[in-house]
Amino acid sequence: MQNLDRPTSETSLSASHYRPIWTQTTKEVFQTTGSSTQGLPEIEAEQRLKHYGPNELPDPPRRSLVLRFTDQLTHFMAMLLWVAGILAFVSGTPELGWAIWAVIWVNAIFSFWQEFQAEQALASLKKVLPAQVRVYRDGALMSILARELVPGDAMQLEEGDRISADARLVSAEALYVDVSVLTGESLPVARTAEPVANLNLRPAEVSNLVFAGSTVAAGRGMAIVSATGTQTEFGHVARLTTDVKREQSTLEVQISKVVRVITAVAVSMGVLVFFLANVLVGMQLKESFVFAIGIIVAFVPEGLLPTVTLALAIGVKRMAKRNALVRRLSAVETLSATTVICTDKTGTLTKNEMTVRSLWIHGQTIEVTGVGYNPRGEIGTVPPGAKGQVQALLAGAALCSNARLVHPSDSSQWLEVGDPTEAALLVVALKAGLNLETLQRQAPRIREIPFDSRRRMMTVVLEGDWAQFCPSELGGSDPYLSPYLSLTKGAPLEVLQHCQFILKNGKSQALTASDRAEATTANDTLASQGYRVLGVAIRQGGAELREQDSASLEQDLTFVGLTAMMDPPRPEVAEAIAQCYAAGIHVTMVTGDYGLTAEAIAHQIGLVDGKVRVVTGEGLGHLSDAQLRRVLQHRTGLVFARMLPEQKLRLVQAYKDLGHIVAVTGDGVNDAPALRAAHIGIAMGISGTDVAREAADIVLVDDNFATIVTAIEQGRAVYQNIRKFITYILASNMAEFLPFLAMVVLKIPPALLILQILAIDLGTDMLPALALGAEKPEVGIMQQHPRKKSTPLLDKALLLRAYCFLGLLEGIAGMTGFFLVWWANGYGLAEIQAVSPAILSRSATATTMAIYHQATTVTLAAIVACQDGNVFACRSDRVSIFRLGFFSNPLIWIGIGVEWTLILSIIYFSPLEKIFMTAPLSGMQWLGLMLCPPMILMADEWRKRIVQLQFQRRFHHR
């Protein structure tokens, strides 16, 4: 481990000069590192950062760009086209072979660029939510970037933190650390701050050391950084595990299967055309072979994979702009099928801006004014004789907190550092006129039992007595005066269970059943109004308070009172929940809060309408799995309260067993199992722990439930957009196939040449298809019910629309143009059939070949023109283009502009005219081509209208 040679940033500590840091006392650690509980001076930290460098590992070795580009030349479709090119050369048509190979290179370059862009988009997510760590600098607790950590920094560690550097503990309270990333140990291990005398231990076995890459499973502590970057234990064996990895999504797997199926069809059709052309048409073996290759090339969707990658990348970027960071591409597709959201309450449905609004002491309720964390506010009228007890309640709550208030000199706002609930307790204490710094000096904390989700309490032990809190009323006459005081705050009913006494009129008295019922009623009354309620209790004692375990320490407490704070619902949440219900998505609140509080918030945000059934964690424990599934299946208005992590996991599994696609929100280390078990794990970016973010698929930068709805909307849009451009591409493939079918059936020359097919597939079609991949969510997309996860991407409806409707119309339009050119020159079907052998053998007269080239040019231009109408038709399979608007996606017009630039170049630019065997068109022919886009568009509008009427008829019949 890296150390410090002297308490400066000039040199590095050598193990030969000092004992291992784990053998040193806390005082020696401070001397060795030049640090203290106040942390490093900011200037010293900057000097050390320059000396040791950033706390980060070098990027891991990756495949070179050359090898990654080579991958694009050797995948399944590319190999098929390489073979097709070779066969073209063997058949004596080198120009076709070169064209096919050019297709491979163009597609490889485009695919490589798209995957590189998608990879860059995912990598940029790390910069949006960089790893943070809390350290003391110049005596102040602050959050800094993990890369700015330096040896000697005093880190504060709390449950859920990912540890960013190797460090020596100098204090630890019930601290357990998950070191599985280094040791493979599946269970968290206890950590203490005591020196370890054994010099022969491996660092991972030392109980007072923590390491980069490990996580805090429970408790809290302070540690002095001893090694950063490549000098850490983790740096010797692996790179940091927080990197976002580009992984193939389930959608891309499905697309690959689609491509293989279509390719198999293409090869089958090519073989069929080869035999039919040779047997029925009488085409020579060479020509039959060439046209079979053409069929294969026509049907292979060369641009499909890169377009899917682009659509996913666009979706990821759009979600990032809307505060949803996608860590796994597979999440984008899964979002579109989400049917249930299990959401936490605090900070997700609510603002997480706690303000204490009410206090309760025995027999009295006292209102508190003010908003937010500004201590400008007042405590309401305190009854005579109760002032000391109110001060005791507020002082006890504030001293049993780890938050801190900050008032920047350049701002009028007060900011909280730490848990918002605890910050609210500090604020109300300041409103009561308490001097917190003085209290903390008079009663220093010597021990802490951190909050956990099972006890639902936190306890601290102070060296002091009641007289320091409220000397005016509880001073020396109190019989419980002693050198140590424990303060406990937590869920009121849990705190009450551990109390045997209650503070009445400044005196500790036995807690009767009547007193317990009164406190419980007060708690329920406040909770039913949507307040988050905490109970505060005390215990005086001697040295035993320093040594007892949590179970013993939190017994025989004296109940002081209640604090009730309001965390107002986010104003946009009610509308977001309404959108979820309209979209067929069920929202379930799963919270650790009290049931009545959860119920009140559920009513306020429209989560439930009418009677609510609150299922507590205890109640859930009495339900079998079958009973739980029945509750979920047949009950509405469900709220789950006081839920433990394993119960949240069980709930997620029950929803999955019912066939739901489940999204789960979480922010704590204990939420990680449920986040991993869900189809979509959603972590909080602000309040979430590092462990929760690691387990999640999506991170909400703003912790806002409405952002989840936005992400689902974008997920649905991505899925729809992929179906849109698949429809667009397959339609032109059918139009390209029809001329060859006509050649076999009618025994005429092909109305479309191989190179012209390639001009459509990898020229004119590409940018409009990409524009469809960038479509914004359709109007009404969140009024549709989620698709079934089992629904194939390439379903019957899509194939019928692409092949048998849009593609067929385009093919007919192209063939119509082909025949019109011949008929305009005096050729009927019989005459065309008569010259066909000469055209195929290239022995026809120059005049005949000129007519043929102009006819194929019209076919080419007609298909491209039809695709202009098709691209607008494919913008939705049900919404009219007149409702969507022709100009709402400007990328389509850019695509059309580039498309026609290519076509005009192919027709009128002499070198390209020779390569693609085209001929200039007349004015009347161009006028006829102008009818193709509206013909396709109006035909699909007619189809949409029929589908809409059928849907309305079925809905009305129901």
In three-state form (DSSP H/G/I as H, E/B as E, the rest C), the secondary structure along 857-892 is HHHHHHHHHHHHHHHHHCCCCCCCHHHHCCCCCHHH
Interatomic CA distance for residues 280 and 748, integer angstroms: 11
Give the strand pairing for 457-463 and 507-510.
Answer: unpaired
Nearest partner of 401 among 451, 473, 332, 327, judged by Cα: 451
Interatomic CA distance for residues 298 and 800, integer angstroms: 18
In the block, tokens 């299946």 appear at 633
Nearest partner of 534 among 580, 489, 583, judged by Cα: 489
Residue 178 annotated in active site:
no
Torsion of CA 919, 922, 926, 932, to 10 degrees: -70
SS3 195: coil
Query: Is the CB of residue 188 less than 8 Å from the CB of residue 218?
Result: yes
Nearest partner of 868 among 768, 940, 751, judged by Cα: 768
Question: Whats the size of the chain, residue-wise?
Answer: 958
Query: Is the CB of residue 100 less than 8 Å from the CB of residue 297?
Result: yes
Cα separation values, 373 from 213, 403, 441, 688, Å: 34, 12, 23, 21
* 861: its two tokens: 């231009």
* 22: its two tokens: 């784990």
β-strand partners of 457: 490
In three-state form (DSSP H/G/I as H, E/B as E, the rest C), the secondary structure along 712-723 is HHHHHHHHHHHH
The number of angstroms, rounded, from the C-alpha of 286 to the middle of its chain's C-alpha atoms is 55
Catalytic residue, chosen from 344, 593, 667, 690, is 344
- Other beta carbons within 10 Å of 820: 16
Interatomic CA distance for residues 154 and 167, integer angstroms: 9
Give the strand pairing for 499-504 and 507-510.
Answer: antiparallel
Interatomic CA distance for residues 759 and 103, integer angstroms: 10
Cα separation values, 876 from 669, 700, 776, Å: 42, 29, 11
DSSP-derived secondary structure letter, 13: B
Q: Where are the beta strands (DSSP E) in 420-498?
A: 445-449, 457-463, 484-490
**Angle (deg, nearest 10), helices 807-824 and 932-957:** 150
Interatomic CA distance for residues 359 and 386, integer angstroms: 12
Please give the single-letter amino acid code of residue 699.
Answer: V
Segments in 322-386 forming alpha helices (H): 330-335
Segments in 225-373 forming alpha helices (H): 233-237, 250-276, 285-299, 304-321, 330-335
Cα separation values, 601 from 564, 574, 593, 665, 716, Å: 14, 11, 11, 17, 29
DSSP symbols for 200-224: SS-GGG-TTEE-TT-EEEEEEEEEE
Sign of the dihedral through C-alpha 96, 98, 99, 101: positive
SS3 613: strand
Segments in 568-624 forming alpha helices (H): 573-582, 595-604, 617-621
Interatomic CA distance for residues 936 and 947, integer angstroms: 17
Interatomic CA distance for residues 532 and 563, integer angstroms: 8
* Enclosing H/E stretch for 494: helix 492-497
SS3 799: helix
The number of angstroms, rounded, from the C-alpha of 612 to the middle of its chain's C-alpha atoms is 30
In the block, tokens 């937590």 appear at 490
Task: Indicate which residues carry an active-site annotation.
Answer: 344
